Amino acid sequence: MTSHPPDLIDAARAGDPRAWARIVIEYSPKLLAAARSFAVGPHAGIDHEAIVQDVLMHAYATRLRKFRTGDLEDLGAWLKRCAANRMIDAQRREYRRQKILLDLTLNCEGCEGPEAATIMADEAERALAGVTHPLDRQIVLARAAGYLGREIAGVLGLSTRNVFIRLFRLRRRQERSR
């Protein structure tokens, strides 16, 4: 490990761009290796660089508030654990997405190729029945595809709370219309 001034973490918490650059340069390769070590089997196609970038951006955005100690070795372990957790979450999302697609395909006995795509389109139409607002339609489709509320919020530029409120209201409207 390269030597760092003892106040590097304090400078990073204060928002010093040079301190953040040193942290990113020091830990990006280590985090990438850690993320790749978690990719096994069908999950090997997950974008490791995106995971590392997400971990570092989260650490930057929160100014290391969740990091309790001031030790640089602990920072490395903490960032690796964050990367591992993000990889596990990404694997779970991918598993759910594949399971949804498989379930939709298996619901049509003997369907292959275009028939399976038609079944998925029909399933999407049923999920979107009565949903008129374009933003709500995007939220419903993303949720059906297995994305988490915070991911949908990030992509659409909404707060996570807004996404969940919209989903709740849509469910309530659908229940009333039955």
Euclidean distance between the first and the last CA atom of the chain, given in angstroms as a whole number = 63
What is the predicted pLDDT for the residue at 108?
Answer: 47
CATH of domain 128-177: 1.10.10
CATH of domain 8-95: 1.10.1740.10
Going residue by residue through the chain, which has 178 residues, state the pLDDT in tens, using 9 for 90 and above: 445 565 888 888 888 899 999 999 999 999 988 888 876 655 556 778 888 898 998 888 887 877 876 666 788 888 998 888 888 887 777 776 666 555 544 454 455 555 445 555 666 666 666 677 777 777 776 777 677 788 777 777 788 888 888 888 888 887 777 6
Q: What are the tokens at 45?
A: 């196609």
pTM: 0.54
What amino acid occupies position 63?
A: R
Task: Find all residues with CB under 8 Å of 45, minimum gap 6, and list them.
Answer: 39
Give the residue extent of every domain in the chain. 8-95, 128-177
CA gap 133, 101 in Å, rounded? 25
CA gap 170, 164 in Å, rounded? 10
